[in-house]
């Protein structure tokens, strides 16, 4: 008989709930964004985020159940993000998930948000080949991993300073383009030219990334020449980011010759990155695993996929487990 799982995600500024069956089909996915709430401050204000999650979580869960056409009695498990993220925001999702699991008498499993993003490849494609190279590019992270088997990851490299989404958001804020910066910068880049010669940081350094110096280069350029076209600044910044990401992906495709390459996390919603990744995958004859934009940015469907995997691999989480704001991804010891 088909089993159903409710997944909840509240690690940052999206309140999300989804229902998935045990074949990983998404029966519903509801995301309530707090972007408008935080936009005036140019970034996420943790206390406001927690309060907004408290107000929104009940209607969001009810919406996910209604959209799936199920009620609490039909659910067989609950999954919830336990970290990394804002502690107050995580607490709201976890308290809700614990209460529902207890009331329904079903198992509860805590999920690492990063494993959720990596598991979103199953929402991109029915056929996920292993091993595959997986680039995780979000507001909080920029890391290149290699998935050797379901749920088993080796770290190839990560950023030594800012994540790429953070760099997008900081540059956009500096240019007065609002929050979040990714979508706006991406759009603006389309009408400019890569003429400002920004650096391609750490291009030759294996799989390590750095975006803090690039952000400073943008600031210095705009201060030195306040009249420079914003579209050209955006195009030059985006081109530099894309060149770096694609150079690392190319290196991994060359080194490992894997049959697939995955791009996950909020920045994977970028049409520019999607197009560049598609061209690269085609060049190497690799399958491109990239979730649709709505499942690349934070959502609960990806937490549901990782939740099913975690339940199968390890069973329910121990009672009394709490939020882990600094939770890291667990890597397999047999790193290449
Ligand atoms: O995965 P995500 O929703 O949240 C985290 O786990 O951090 O990623 C959010 C990040 C933000 O920095 C946002 O600017 C970026 O993803 N982003 C984009 C686009 N949409 C969202 N970056 C570039 N192009 C986009 N279209
Ligand atoms: Zn995320």
- pLDDT tens track of the chain, all 336 residues? 899 999 999 999 999 999 999 999 999 999 999 998 998 888 899 999 999 999 999 999 999 999 999 999 999 999 999 999 999 999 999 999 999 999 999 999 999 999 999 999 999 999 999 999 999 999 999 999 999 998 899 999 999 999 999 999 999 999 999 888 899 999 999 999 999 999 999 999 999 999 999 999 999 999 999 999 999 999 999 999 999 999 999 999 999 999 999 999 999 999 999 999 999 999 999 999 999 999 999 999 999 999 999 999 999 999 889 999 999 999 986 444
Residues with CB under 5 Å of ion ligand 2 are 138, 298
Q: How is residue 39 written in tokens? A: 């936009």
Residues 136 and 54: their CA atoms lie apart, in Å, by: 29
CA-closest candidate to residue 59, choices 103, 5, 17? 17
pTM for the whole structure:
0.96
Sheet holding 287-289: strands in order across? Answer: 152-158, 142-149, 132-137, 260-264, 287-289
306 alpha carbon – ligand 1 mean position (Å): 20
202 alpha carbon – ligand 2 mean position (Å): 24
Instruction: Determine the distance from the C-alpha atom of residue 28 to the mean position of all C-alpha atoms in its chain, rounded to a whole number.
Output: 19
Q: How is residue 178 written in tokens? A: 């609002």
CA-closest candidate to residue 219, choices 173, 264, 187? 173
- The residue whose C-alpha atom lies closest to atom 3 belonging to ligand 1 is 297
Burial (0-12, 13-18, 19+ Cβ within 10 Å), 226 = exposed
Q: Is 299 in the pocket of ligand 1 (CB under 6 A)?
A: no
Q: How is residue 183 written in tokens? A: 């979508």
Q: Write out pLDDT tens, residues 44-76.
A: 999 999 999 999 999 999 999 999 999 999 999
**Which pLDDT belongs to residue 39?**
87
Burial (0-12, 13-18, 19+ Cβ within 10 Å), 228 = middle
**Which pLDDT belongs to residue 335?**
45
Q: How is residue 116 written in tokens? A: 């959720």
Atom of ligand 1 at shortest range from CA of 180: 14
Write down the H helix ranges in the chain: 35-39, 46-68, 87-104, 113-119, 164-174, 181-189, 212-224, 230-256, 271-283, 293-296, 301-314
Give phi and psi for 200, each to the nearest 5. -110, 85
**Which residue in this structure is represented by tokens 């509801």?**
30
Q: Is 245 in the pocket of ligand 1 (CB under 6 A)?
A: no
Q: Is 298 in the pocket of ligand 1 (CB under 6 A)?
A: yes
**Which pLDDT belongs to residue 333?**
63
Per-residue b/e over 254-290, b at no fewer than 16 CB within 10 Å?
Answer: eeeebebbbbbbbbbbbebbbebbeebbeebebbbbb
Best of 182, 235, 264, 277 to mutate for ligand 1, by most ligand atoms within 8 A of CB?
A: 182
Instruction: Give, in degrees to the nearest 5, the angle at Cα 37 between 58 and 212.
Output: 115
């Amino acid at each position: 008989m088909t089993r159903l799982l409710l997944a909840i995600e509240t690690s940052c500024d999206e309140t999300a709930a989804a229902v998935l069956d045990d074949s990983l089909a998404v029966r519903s996915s509801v995301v309530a964004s707090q972007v408008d709430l935080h936009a005036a401050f140019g970034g996420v204000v943790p206390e406001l985020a927690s309060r907004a999650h408290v107000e929104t979580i009940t209607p969001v869960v009810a919406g996910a159940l209604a959209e799936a056409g199920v009620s609490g009695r039909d659910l067989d498990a609950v999954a919830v993000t336990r970290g990394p993220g804002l502690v107050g925001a995580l607490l709201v999702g976890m308290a809700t998930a614990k209460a529902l699991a207890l009331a329904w008498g079903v198992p509860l499993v805590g999920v690492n948000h990063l494993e959720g993003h990596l598991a979103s490849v199953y929402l991109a494609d029915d056929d996920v080949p292993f091993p595959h190279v997986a680039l995780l590019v979000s507001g909080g992270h920029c890391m290149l991993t290699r998935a050797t088997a379901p749920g088993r990851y080796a770290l190839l490299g990560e950023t030594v300073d800012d994540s790429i989404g953070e760099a997008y958001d900081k540059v956009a804020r500096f240019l007065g383009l609002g929050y979040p910066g990714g979508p706006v910068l991406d759009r603006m880049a389309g009408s400019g030219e890569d003429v400002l010669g920004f650096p391609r940081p750490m291009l030759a350094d294996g799989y390590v990334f750095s975006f803090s110096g690039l952000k400073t280069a943008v600031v210095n350029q705009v201060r030195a020449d306040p009249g420079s076209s914003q579209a050209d600044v955006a195009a030059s910044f985006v081109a530099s980011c894309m060149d770096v990401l694609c150079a690392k992906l190319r290196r991994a495709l060359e080194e490992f010759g894997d049959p697939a390459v995955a791009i996950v996390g909020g920045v994977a919603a970028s049409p520019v990155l999607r197009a560049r990744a598609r061209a690269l995958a085609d060049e190497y004859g690799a399958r491109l695993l990239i979730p649709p934009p709505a499942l690349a940015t934070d959502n609960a469907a990806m937490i549901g996929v990782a939740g099913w995997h975690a339940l199968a691999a390890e069973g329910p989480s121990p009672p009394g487990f709490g939020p882990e704001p600094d939770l890291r991804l667990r890597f397999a010891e047999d790193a290449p």
